Amino acid sequence: MRRRIVAGNWKMNGSKDLVQQLVGDIREHVADLDEAVKSTLDVVIIPPALYVDSVIGCCGDALATGVQNVSQWQSGAYTGEISSGMALDLGCQYVLVGHSERRQLFAESDEVIARKVTRVLESGLTAILCVGETLEEREAGQAESIVASQVRQGLSTVSSDQWSRVVVAYEPVWAIGTGKTATAEDAQAMHAEIRGVLEQMNAPSRNISVLYGGSVKADNAAALFAEPDIDGGLIGGASLKADEFVSICRSFPVGA
C-alpha cells in the first residue's frame, strides 16, 4: 500500500518562537488522529535548514522532518552548501529536490537535480522530486511532455533497490502561492500520467507516492485526496497555520 504523505514546506519562513508553537501544536493534533489514519500517513515538516535541529527536537514520534535543498556534492570547498549526509546526520528523513523555485530562481537544471537525487538516495534518505509546468507551457499544450521529461531526467539514476525511497510531487508552477489550484480532475490526470512514466522507467509505479502541491488548503484537500492517484500534498503557505495544516491531514477519505 502506498504511503499517504502530507509535507509542509515552510520555504524561507520561520523563527525559534514559530518552531516551538507551530510544531508543538501540529504534533499534538497529529497524535490525536485516528489510529487507522496514522498507520498509513507520514506528516513531514520541512523548515529552513537553520531550524531543522529545533524542529526535530519538537517533533517527537508523530512527525518526520526534511530539508528544502541539498548540494549535488558530498563534501568539500562549497561554502554555503549542505550535504545529504549532513541532513541524515541531523536526523532528517526527507529531502525536497527540484522545487520550481530552485529551478527558476537558482537555475537548477534537470542534470543538477538528477545529481542531487543521486546524493539523497546514496545517503539513505527519501527524495521528494518536484515537477511541474508553467502557465505558458500548459497553454501551449506542453504540460504533459514537460512533466514527463522532468520525471525521466530527475530520476534517471535511480537503481532498482532505491525506488522505495522516491516520492514525486506534482506542483504546477502557475498554482504555487497564487491561490489558483488545478481541479481535482486535472491533477488526477497529471498524476496518472506521472505514474505511467514511472512504469515506462521500470519503476514500481503503483507503490510510489505521488503528491499534489499548489495552493492546497483545507477546503480543497478532500477533493484532491479522493482521486485514486493522489497520495497526499506538498503544502506551502497553509503549513504555517497549525489548524489549517492538520485539517489537510484529516482530509483523506475514510477507509481508503
- Chain length of the chain: 256
pLDDT-derived band of residue 256, with 50, 70 and 90 as boundaries?
A: low
Please give the pLDDT value at position 219. Answer: 93
pLDDT-derived band of residue 15, with 50, 70 and 90 as boundaries?
A: very high
Please give the pLDDT value at position 180. Answer: 76
Q: What is the pTM of this model?
A: 0.96
243's enclosing H/E stretch is helix 242-249
Mean pLDDT of the 205-229 span: 95
Structural domain that includes position 156: 4-249
| Region class of 168: left (phi > 0), else alpha (psi between -120 and 50), else beta | beta
In total, how many domains does the chain have?
Answer: 1
pLDDT-derived band of residue 32, with 50, 70 and 90 as boundaries?
A: confident
Cell numbers standing for residue 13:
519562513
Please give the pLDDT value at position 33. Answer: 83
- For residue 42, tell me if it sits in a domain: yes
- For residue 254, tell me if it sits in a domain: no
Supply the DSSP string of 34-54, one letter for each residue.
-HHHHTTEEEEEE--GGGHHH
- For residue 255, tell me if it sits in a domain: no
Please give the pLDDT value at position 255. Answer: 61
Mean pLDDT of the 158-183 span: 90
- For residue 256, tell me if it sits in a domain: no
How high is the mean pLDDT of the chain? 94
Residues forming beta bridges with residue 7, ordered by sequence position: 44, 234
Domain CATH number, residue 133: 3.20.20.70
Q: Would you say residue 11 has pLDDT above 90?
A: yes
Please give the pLDDT value at position 251. Answer: 92
Catalytic sites, residue numbers: 99, 171
**pLDDT single digits (tens) 79-99:** 999 999 999 999 999 999 999
- For residue 226, tell me if it sits in a domain: yes
Please give the pLDDT value at position 129. Answer: 98
Mean pLDDT highest for which of 1-5, 33-37, 153-157? 153-157
Q: Would you say residue 177 has pLDDT above 80?
A: no
Please give the pLDDT value at position 195. Answer: 98
- For residue 31, tell me if it sits in a domain: yes
